[in-house]
Amino acid sequence: MVEWTDFERATIKDIFSKIDYASVGQQALARCLVVYPWTQRYFGNFGNLYNAAAILGNPNVAAHGLTVMRGLEKAVKDLDNIKSTYAELTVKDLDNIKSTYAELSVLHSEKLHVDPDNFRLLADCITIVTASTLGASFSAEMQAALQKFLAVVVSALGKQYQ
Ligand code: HEM
pLDDT at position 1: 29
Question: What global pTM score does this model have?
Answer: 0.90
pLDDT tens, 58-81? 999 999 999 999 999 888 877 766
CA of residue 109 to ligand 1 center, whole Å: 10
CA of residue 157 to ligand 1 center, whole Å: 10
CA of residue 108 to ligand 1 center, whole Å: 7
pLDDT tens, 105-130? 888 888 889 999 999 999 999 999 99
Q: How far is Cα of residue 110 from the mean position of the Cα atoms in its chain?
A: 19
The response to whether residue 123 sits with its C-beta less than 6 Å from ligand 1 reads yes
Is pLDDT of 24 > 60? yes
pLDDT tens, 2-11? 356 788 888 9
Residue 145 in contact with residue 11, Cβ under 8 Å?
A: yes
As a whole number of angstroms, the distance between CA 101 and CA 152 comes to 11
The response to whether residue 35 sits with its C-beta less than 6 Å from ligand 1 reads no
As a whole number of angstroms, the distance between CA 115 and CA 95 comes to 22
Lowest mean pLDDT among 34-48, 83-97, 129-143: 83-97
Global ipTM: 0.95
The closest of 27, 7, 44, 50 to 132, measured between CA atoms, is 27
The response to whether residue 118 sits with its C-beta less than 6 Å from ligand 1 reads yes
